[in-house]
Structure 1
Amino acid sequence: MAETAETAPRRTVLESIDVRTVVAEFLGTLLLVFFAVGSAVLGAEYVGTVGIALSFGFVLLALAYTFGQISGCHLNPAVTLGMLMARRITPRTALEYVVAQLLGGIVGAALLFLVAKQVPGLETSGGFGSNGYGYRSAVGINIFGAFVAEILLTFLLVYVYLAVTRNLVLIGLAGLPVGLCLAVVSLVGIPLTGASVNPARSFGPALFAGAEAMTQVWLFLIAPLVGGALAALVHGVTHPAEPVGVARTATETAE
């Protein structure tokens, strides 16, 4: 006998969540923050700006090959917003991703903070890999310049994500341009704002950097989302979409 709405077993919220994709986004964001931001917190004097930028790019590249076929390896609410606007995921899936990414960023920053506290003489307050403008920028960029820069940097990253993914997942060599793109935008963005392009990457470290970082973090939550939305709009014009159908979850796409 076919199930009806009345006879079908009720599912709890947790039972209806795709655990694999949520865990992939949580763990991936945690690792991105710990290792990539960690290169700035623990090794800036040894690797410099180029080394930090390459750390971000290489970590994302490795994670793209690890989680790309599970969740698409967004690890970034701006990328998830772009995918949502491109109708590649449902609003519910997007919400699950963003919550997992924010929690992953916080836990990754907490673990990094724990390790940093074990290094004698290492100052964690004030900087701690957080983003900033004005006196918190290496070049002193003002608030307007920082906002524009973050929009443009995120635009490029999300645009590349949309261009190299057919539906949602990253397969084959698709992880390579994504990783290289993050390295490039980091090279440009680190002297300007510390290169956010990712609200989850910014929010976690800001929590442990102190009040000054928290007063500026709003910009690095909003500007990347604007950049991601613009990337989705422009991509829809330059890359005509497949016939629009029902948005797919990562699991459905992998099948």
Structure 2
Amino acid sequence: MSLSRRTAAEFLGTFWLVLGGCGSAVLAAAYPGLGIGFLGVALAFGLAMLTMAYAVGHISGAHFNPAVTIGLLAGGRFPARDVLPYLLAQVGGAIVAAGIIYTIASGAAGFTVTDGFASNGYGAHSPGGYSLFASLVAEIVLTFGFVMVVLGATDLRAPIGFAPIAIGLALTLVHLIGIPVTNVSVNPARSTGPALFVGGWALSQLWLFWLAPLLGGALAGVLYPLLVGARPTRAVAVPRSTV
């Protein structure tokens, strides 16, 4: 599969992930009397990941996340030459999705991005008031766990055809744990899209939501082969054309 088609799939998949996850947080989480709350937002992220992984995973590997791409690189399961194009496609998809959410949300009277716009934050901008250090630890550990699931679910020794389900459920679990801490990133592209619209504090804190997920993803990529041994993988992690 050509790089252009794979990056287009990454753009589309990340767009869907951010539209589904952040869109549910902005538009539906606190809707009067019918809001979906933390549980609904967590499920939205997981379902968006699951559905698009099945839709385009055979094209691009369904990373939709710079931390996953870096984790696969660190684990020797993704070529370094394709990392930058994948990251650019992922961030681009997230920004466009955030723009669509902003356009829709702006149609309601009283909407303002000062309420957060699903941005990730720590300290005064953490939903639960968690400190920078607590947020850093949470993002590293949750990303590590998520990328370990990605690596394990796409290993040839895992049951065939179920990887998107495991990965989608893992992302749901990550959000159930971490929404009160940082609104959950584990994905620098997901963090970048909303932050660009909020500006100010969201941009000034964005560094953490690049640093911590990339560290967590790289750590998983290094440790997984040490734990189970290096083996070939299926297309959900890396398209066959790049193995």
In the alignment, the residues of structure 2 paired with residue 163 and residue 96 of structure 1 have an alpha-carbon distance, to the nearest angstrom, of: 25
Q: Does 1:41 align with 2:30?
A: no
Q: Does 1:123 align with 2:117?
A: no
1:125 Cα deviation (Å)? Answer: 2.7
% same residue? 47
Q: Does 1:82 align with 2:67?
A: no
Q: Check the 8 A contact 2:61/2:238 in 1, yes or no.
A: no
Q: Does 1:187 align with 2:187?
A: no
In the alignment, the residues of structure 1 paired with residue 238 and residue 48 of structure 2 have an alpha-carbon distance, to the nearest angstrom, of: 24
| Aligned counterpart, 2:10 | 25
Instruction: Report the more deviating stretch, 199-208 or 118-127.
Output: 118-127
Select the structure of larger CA radius of gyration.
Answer: 1
| Aligned counterpart, 2:134 | 145
Any idea what SS the aligned residue of 1:161 has?
helix
Structure 1 stretches of 4+ with a deviation exceeding 4 A read: none
Q: Check the 8 A contact 1:116/1:124 in 2, yes or no.
A: no
1:35 Cα deviation (Å)? Answer: 1.6
Q: Check the 8 A contact 1:69/1:171 in 2, yes or no.
A: no
Instruction: Report the more deviating stretch, 177-186 or 135-144.
Output: 135-144
* Match for residue 210 of structure 2 among 221, 226, 238: 221
In the alignment, the residues of structure 2 paired with residue 37 and residue 89 of structure 1 have an alpha-carbon distance, to the nearest angstrom, of: 28
1:210 Cα deviation (Å)? Answer: 2.3
Q: Does 1:59 align with 2:63?
A: no
Q: Check the 8 A contact 1:26/1:104 in 2, yes or no.
A: yes
TM-score (normalizing by structure 2):
0.91
In the alignment, the residues of structure 1 paired with residue 23 and residue 238 of structure 2 have an alpha-carbon distance, to the nearest angstrom, of: 31
Please report the RMSD computed on the Cα atoms of aligned residues, expressed in angstroms: 2.1
1:76 Cα deviation (Å)? Answer: 0.2
TM-score (normalizing by structure 1):
0.87
Structure 1 unmatched runs, 5+: 1-15
Any idea what SS the aligned residue of 1:128 has?
coil
1:250 Cα deviation (Å)? Answer: 2.1
Deviations along 1:122-149, whole A, 9 cap, x unmatched? Answer: 2223400000011111211110110010
Structure 2 unmatched runs, 5+: none
| Aligned counterpart, 1:173 | 162
Any idea what SS the aligned residue of 2:121 has?
coil
The 3 A distance-change label for structure 1 pair 189 and 249 is: closer
In the alignment, the residues of structure 2 paired with residue 251 and residue 22 of structure 1 have an alpha-carbon distance, to the nearest angstrom, of: 15
| Aligned counterpart, 2:145 | 156
1:154 Cα deviation (Å)? Answer: 0.3
Q: Check the 8 A contact 2:192/2:206 in 1, yes or no.
A: yes
